[in-house]
């Protein structure tokens, strides 16, 4: 027997209709809130940074501004600064000027010192020469001895000396046939200023005559000198004394120093 299929036939299913696409405007409207949301989230993230920048201390902003200002000022100053070559030339010029001034000052000081030394030598030489002339003579050449002293003396002192020499000393020397020699031990110089000078001449002298021999060691002649033209002339002489003085008569006996022929008196 034939089996009968009791299963009910299924109805054929209708194909699904495609979903209608949403209009572009609606999609744009739906996407816009998403973009706004992303922008808001980004703004929210940047807001704390902005707040932090706003919360910075005023000093920090000033420092930044000052640094920028200093940089600008530095650039302007550098633009005004002379070039390296100009600076080198200026430095060399200053160094040369300083060297010239220093050299000039040193030369002037050396010249002044040389002039003072030369002046002291002149005074010393004049004083020593006068001391020898005053205490040296030959009874046969008294005029030469006199002229020598007068040539080293100032006009006033020459007049005074000439009067003393011709007034008595010349006659005593001639009568006793006295001859004198003198040597200079040393010359001490005092002040030299304004064309005047002081000197002390230490002398050793010996006088031989018919009365005997007189030795004077370490006699001191205190002198005053003045410049007359290019020369130093003696204006005054004072005999200060002697360290040792002896007198020996023709028989070889010691006598008092005043018993022999006196040396020419150095002071009027």
Q: Check if the beta carbon of residue 135 is closer than 8 Å to that of residue 205.
A: yes
> How far is 35 from 31, CA to CA, in rounded Å?
7
pLDDT, position 27: 52
Reported confidence tier of residue 133, pLDDT bands at 50, 70, 90: very high
pLDDT, position 83: 65
83-114 per-position pLDDT tens digit: 667 766 777 677 777 777 777 767 666 777 88
**What mean pLDDT do residues 131-150 have?**
95
Looking from the CA of 70 toward its CB, the CA atoms found within 13 Å total: 6
**How many of the other CB atoms lie within 10 Å of CB of 220?**
17
First to last CA, the chain: 204
* Cβ-proximal residues to 156 (8 Å cutoff; 6+ apart), any chain: 235
161 pLDDT above the threshold of 70: yes
Question: Residue 185 phi/psi, 5° resolution?
Answer: -80, -55
What domains can you pick out in the chain, each with its CATH number?
A: 115-259 (3.10.450.540)
168-177 per-position pLDDT tens digit: 889 999 999 9
Question: Residue 242 phi/psi, 5° resolution?
Answer: -135, 150
Reported confidence tier of residue 256, pLDDT bands at 50, 70, 90: confident
1-14 per-position pLDDT tens digit: 444 444 444 454 44
Q: What is the DSSP string of the chain?
A: -PPPP-PPPPPPPPPPPPPPPPPHHHHHHHHHHHHHHHHHHHHHHHHHHHHHHHHS-HHHHHHHHHHHHHHHHHHHHHHHSPPHHHHHHHHHHHHHHHHHHHHHHHHHHHHHHHHHHHHHHHHHHHHHHHHHHHH-EETT-HHHHHHHHHHHB-HHHHHHHHHHIIIIIHHHHHHHT-EEEEEEEEEEEEEEETTEEEEEEEEEEEEEETTEEEEEEEEEEEEEEEEETTEEEEEEEEEEE-SEEEEE-TTS-EE-GGGSPPPPPS--
pLDDT, position 33: 54
- Residue with more model confidence, 214 or 85: 214
Reported confidence tier of residue 143, pLDDT bands at 50, 70, 90: very high
List residues bridging with 27 in a β-sheet: none
Reported confidence tier of residue 246, pLDDT bands at 50, 70, 90: very high
45 pLDDT above the threshold of 60: no
């Amino acid at each position: 027997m034939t089996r009968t299929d009791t299963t009910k036939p299924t109805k054929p299913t209708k194909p699904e209709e495609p979903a209608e696409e949403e209009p572009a405007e609606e999609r744009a409207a739906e996407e816009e809130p998403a973009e706004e949301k992303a922008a808001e989230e980004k703004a929210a993230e940047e807001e704390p940074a902005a707040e932090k920048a706003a919360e910075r201390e005023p000093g920090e902003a000033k420092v930044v501004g000052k640094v920028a200002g200093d940089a600008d000022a530095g650039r302007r100053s550098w633009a005004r600064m002379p070039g390296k070559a100009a600076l080198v030339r200026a430095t060399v010029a200053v160094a040369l000027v300083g060297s010239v001034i220093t050299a000039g000052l040193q030369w002037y000081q050396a010249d002044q010192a040389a002039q003072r030394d030369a002046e002291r030598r002149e005074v010393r030489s004049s004083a020593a020469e006068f001391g020898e002339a005053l205490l040296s003579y030959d009874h046969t050449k008294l005029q030469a001895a006199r002229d020598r002293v007068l040539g080293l003396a100032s006009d006033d002192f020459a007049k005074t000396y000439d009067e003393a020499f011709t007034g008595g000393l010349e006659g005593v020397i001639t009568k006793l046939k006295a001859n004198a020699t003198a040597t200079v031990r040393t010359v001490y110089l005092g002040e030299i200023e304004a064309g005047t000078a002081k000197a002390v001449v230490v002398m050793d002298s010996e006088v031989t005559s018919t009365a005997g021999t007189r030795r004077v060691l370490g006699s001191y002649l205190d002198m005053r000198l003045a410049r007359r033209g290019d020369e130093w002339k003696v204006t005054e002489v004072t005999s200060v004394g002697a360290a040792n003085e002896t007198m020996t008569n023709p028989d070889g006996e010691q006598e008092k120093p005043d018993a022999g022929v006196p040396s020419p008196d150095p002071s009027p």
